[in-house]
Amino acid sequence: MDNFYPYILIDGEILEIDGKPVVDVGKLTLNEWIQACSNNNVYTPNYKFPTDAHKMEYISTIHERSDKDFRDLLRQFLIEPTTFPTDLDGLEYRLIYRPDLMLEFDRRILNGEPAWEGITWILDLLPDEPESVLEVVRTYFYTHAQLLPDGRRVGISDAMSLIRARYLSIPQTSDEIHKMLLKLGDRRFEILVAKLYERMGYEVELTRRSKDDGADMVCYRTDPGRRELLIGQCKCYTGNVGLKHFKELLGTVTDRKATKGVLVTPGKFTKPAIEKADSNPSIELLGGLELQSLLAQHLGSRWIINLDRLTIESTKN
């Protein structure tokens, strides 16, 4: 199958696409990039922000932007009905090596239709239903993450950050962050904690939702002198986590001969659980301000803006 985006590639760098010179967007200011996106004489990568700095600059002025300008940008980051060149490569591979695996967008390509069904219809739900929109985009991302080109995955993540920044208040105080974490629900909270421990240097496996055997995540360190097997249990609810959960995790740590266990919650722990942990180094309690501090330290000061990307599960468990 022919690549329908003809390009000129020199030393690994694409200099021209479909007869148009490619703009080096990393060298443009935010406003220069926005203007270049509407220039039909050049090819300007417009499906994501050029850099994280461009993104944060835009978010800092997001409420000064007109509704039209904001929607125009958001539409660029979302997927419209289209077919990407990589879709054809994937289709060819499956036709040759996995004819038993026929995806829905393979069927559309073979029928002469765009491979991707668009998601720009979510704009009709804004500004009234931002939470519903974020849930739809997360589900779309979760379903298609392994098939999307890398840049488009980043673009969808940028779109979620923009929606959150424009239509939802960004938590500032520890109490506001606590309430936001509670809204994640059990699985998304587990994913966020797993991302945290990955950034802390562990290899992390999230367990299946219905078969956790007392462990929501299993964390490994294998480098010499720091070998460790850590069992994580996450409790995302409003009440204080108590001694019952402490004992359950301790039993799992003992059964699996783990180095230690960590009990994680957005909130606090009961006094008996704290006293038990003080006398038993096999179990660590992590919650409240300590958890928020670690999230900011290891996921970055802007982790709340990127919350949707951080809590998307890209592979099915």
Of 149, 167, 185, the position where a domain reaches its end is: 167
Last residue of a domain, one of 167, 184, 215: 167
- 254 falls within a domain: yes
Q: Is 284 helix (H, G, I), strand (E, B) or coil?
A: strand
Q: Which domain holds residue 204?
A: 175-310
| Entry pTM | 0.85
Given this model, what pLDDT does residue 14 score?
56
Instruction: State the 10-residue block means of pLDDT for the chain, 317 residues long.
Output: 46 64 91 94 93 95 96 96 88 90 90 94 97 95 89 95 94 95 95 96 86 83 88 95 95 94 97 95 96 96 92 61
Task: Identify each DSSP E strand in the chain by its residue range.
Answer: 7-10, 13-17, 20-21, 203-206, 217-221, 228-234, 260-265, 283-287
pLDDT of amino acid 145 = 87
Last residue of a domain, one of 167, 195, 216: 167
| Cα–Cα distance, 73 to 260 (Å, whole number) | 47
Model pLDDT, residue 10: 45
Strands 283-287, 260-265: pairing is parallel
Residues 162 and 204 in one domain: no
CA 125 to chain centre: 22
Residues 66 and 180 in one domain: no
Give the pLDDT confidence score for residue 210 in this predicted structure.
Answer: 59
Domain count, the chain: 2
Are residues 261 and 120 both part of a single domain? no
Is residue 136 situated within a structural domain?
yes
Provide the β-strand partners of residue 10.
13
Predicted local distance difference test score (pLDDT) of residue 3: 42
pLDDT recorded at residue 6: 53
Look up the CATH number of the domain holding residue 225.
3.40.1350.10
